[in-house]
Amino acid sequence: MKPIQLWLPMIMGGAGRPTRQRDIQRLHAVWDGHDVLWTKPSWSGPEAWAQDRMKVGCISGEEIECFRILHIGDGGGIVGPAAAGFGDLKIDGLLDAWLGSEVQAVPSTAGTPFEISVPTVVEGGVTYLRETFASETGGHHPFRVLEQDENTAAAQWPPGDHDPRPISPQSEALAREPSDTDGTVALCLRWAGLLTSVMPSYTSEDDLFAQAQMRSIRDLARNDVEQARHSAEVAARNWVVDGQSSVNAAWLKPIIAAEGEDGALVAIYSRFDLDCGCLAEAYENPRLRRELRKPMGVRRVLGVPGLAWALMLDRLSEGQAERLCERCGQPISGRTNKRFCGETDNPDCFKARRSGDRRRSRKGSPQSGK
C-alpha cells in the first residue's frame, strides 16, 4: 500500500463543492509539514505557527474549515492529530466498516448560528476566539416512502434504481439551496457506529454518494474486477490525488505508531543499515536525519470517504472484489490475512468453525484410560 496522507475535515464533509475544491488546491500548494491547516475567509495572519508541539497554519479561503493531517503507513499505523479518534477502528477493516455504515437523520438547525473556536489575529499573534457562523442547508431530496399511519417519511440519496431520476445530480449534490419551501423538512445527517468520531460535524450528500458508488463498484468487481478498478479510479478523482510528504512523516512515524520503538529500530536497520540503540540516538544520526528529510510520494486523501477510496483501489489492484470467508463464502472484515468469519461477521459460521476446531483438537489429543 502506498503511504497515505489523510486530510481529515472537522466541520464539513464532501469533495465536490467548487469552493471546497478550490480551498483544497490552495492548501495542497502551501502544505509544508503542517499538522493542522485552517481555511478562513479574509485571513491576514501568519501562514504557520507552533502550537502544542504541532505546526499549525491558516490561509485565506472561501470556507471556514480545519483539516487535521495524518499519515498512514503500509502496516496500518496512523499518526497525527485526531489519530486517537480511530480507536478500535483499524485501517485494514475501515473499508468494510465504511461500506456497512449507516447514517441517522436528526432534526437540523440549518440557518441557526453556531459557535466555533477559530484562529484569530490579536496584537500581532494568533489566538483562538469563539466566532459565530450560520449552518447551511444541502440539497432537496424527494420523499420515496410515506407511512401515513405511522406519520413517517423516508428519503434517499442517491435515488434507488426504481425511483424518479433527478434532473441534475451534480447540481443537487453541490449547490446550497434554501430549505424554507413549503412541504420540506430540514434534517441533518449523523454517522453511526465507529465512524462517528472521525467524520465531520456536518456530512454531505457527496459522502453518501461516494459510499453508494463504492458499494456498486464492489458488486461490479464480483464479475469484472478490471472494469470495477477503472470505475473506481474515475469516481475517486475528487477524493484521492498524488502528493508528497517526507520519509519521516510518511514512513517512520507510522511504523513507530504501529510497532513501537523496537519495530522502528528494526525498520531503520533494514532500510538504511543503521544499528541504533534507541530512537533518540537514531534521530541524532546525521545520515538518518538527511534520509528522513527526503521527499516521499503519498496518496493525499480527503476525509474518511477518500481513505475508503484509496483502500478500495488497493484491493481492486490486487484483483479482489472483497474478502470472503473460506468456510461460508460471506464477506468478512478486519485483518488483511483473515480467512474466516469472526463473531461479528457471521456468528453461526464462527460458532460452527470453533466447534469443529474443538472436535479436531480432541481427536488429535492422546487418549487416556484405554
Pairwise pLDDT comparison (163 vs 238), residue with the higher score: 238
Can you tell me the distance from the alpha carbon of 278 to that of 284, in angstroms, rounded to the nearest whole number?
A: 10
Q: What is the pLDDT of residue 144?
A: 64
Binned at pLDDT 50, 70 and 90, residue 171 comes out as very low
Contact assessment for residue 103 and residue 189, using Cβ atoms and an 8 Å cutoff: yes
Q: Count CB-CB contacts under 10 A for residue 165.
A: 8
Whether residues 33 and 126 fall in one domain: yes
Whether residues 235 and 296 fall in one domain: yes
Cell 499518526 locates to 79
Which of 283, 302, 317 finishes a domain?
Answer: 317
Phi, then psi, of 87 in degrees rounded to 5: 45, -120
Can you tell me the distance from the alpha carbon of 265 to that of 278, in angstroms, rounded to the nearest whole number?
A: 7
- Which range, of 42-56, 211-225, 310-324, 335-349, averages the lowest pLDDT? 335-349
- Domain boundaries, position 360: 324-370
Can you tell me the distance from the alpha carbon of 323 to that of 228, in angstroms, rounded to the nearest whole number?
A: 15
Indicate if the pLDDT at residue 111 is higher than 70: no
Q: What is the pLDDT of residue 103?
A: 83
Q: At what angle are helices 286-293 and 253-272 packed, to 10 degrees?
A: 120
Can you tell me the distance from the alpha carbon of 184 to that of 163, in angstroms, rounded to the nearest whole number?
A: 19
Q: Cα-Cα-Cα-Cα dihedral of 8, 14, 19, 20, to 10°?
A: 20
Residue 230 falls inside a structural domain: yes
Residue 185 falls inside a structural domain: no
Whether residues 232 and 344 fall in one domain: no
Whether residues 18 and 124 fall in one domain: yes
Whether residues 232 and 287 fall in one domain: yes
Q: Cα-Cα-Cα-Cα dihedral of 308, 220, 16, 72, to 10°?
A: 20
pLDDT digits (tens, 9 = 90+) for 15-69: 988 999 999 999 999 999 999 999 999 999 999 999 999 999 999 999 999 999 9
- Which range, of 41-55, 169-183, 214-228, 287-301, averages the lowest pLDDT? 169-183
Whether residues 114 and 239 fall in one domain: yes
Binned at pLDDT 50, 70 and 90, residue 176 comes out as very low
Q: What is the pLDDT of residue 205?
A: 81
**DSSP-derived secondary structure letter, 250:** I
Instruction: Flag whether the pTM goes above 0.95.
Output: no
Cell numbers describing residue 26? 490552495
Omega before 169 within 30 of 0, i.e. cis: no
Sign of CA dihedral 220, 224, 229, 234: negative
Residue 119 falls inside a structural domain: yes
Which of 277, 295, 317 finishes a domain?
Answer: 317
Can you tell me the distance from the alpha carbon of 214 to that of 52, in angstroms, rounded to the nearest whole number?
A: 38
DSSP letter string, 56-101: EEEEE-SS-EEEEEEEE-TTS-EESTTGGGGTT--GGGHHHHHHT-
Whether residues 286 and 303 fall in one domain: yes
Residue 167 falls inside a structural domain: no
Whether residues 329 and 293 fall in one domain: no
Three-state SS for 323? Answer: coil
Whether residues 283 and 337 fall in one domain: no
Residue 145 falls inside a structural domain: no
Residue 191 falls inside a structural domain: no
Q: What is the pLDDT of residue 355?
A: 73
Ranges 154-158, 170-174, 179-183, 311-315, most confident: 311-315
Domain tally, the chain: 2
Contact assessment for residue 301 and residue 310, using Cβ atoms and an 8 Å cutoff: yes
Whether residues 286 and 338 fall in one domain: no
E strands within the chain?
A: 4-9, 36-40, 48-51, 54-60, 65-72, 78-79, 103-107, 113-122, 125-134, 143-147, 152-155, 187-191, 240-246, 295-302
Q: What is the pLDDT of residue 173?
A: 45
Q: Which residues are bridge partners to 241 per DSSP?
A: 300
Contact assessment for residue 323 and residue 332, using Cβ atoms and an 8 Å cutoff: yes
How many residues belong to the chain?
370
Residue 180 falls inside a structural domain: no
Whether residues 276 and 353 fall in one domain: no
Q: What is the pLDDT of residue 351?
A: 79
**DSSP-derived secondary structure letter, 222:** T
Can you tell me the distance from the alpha carbon of 279 to that of 281, in angstroms, rounded to the nearest whole number?
A: 5
Can you tell me the distance from the alpha carbon of 185 to that of 169, in angstroms, rounded to the nearest whole number?
A: 20
Whether residues 276 and 366 fall in one domain: no
Can you tell me the distance from the alpha carbon of 205 to that of 136, in angstroms, rounded to the nearest whole number?
A: 13
Which amino acid makes up residue 279?
A: L
Q: What is the pLDDT of residue 195?
A: 87
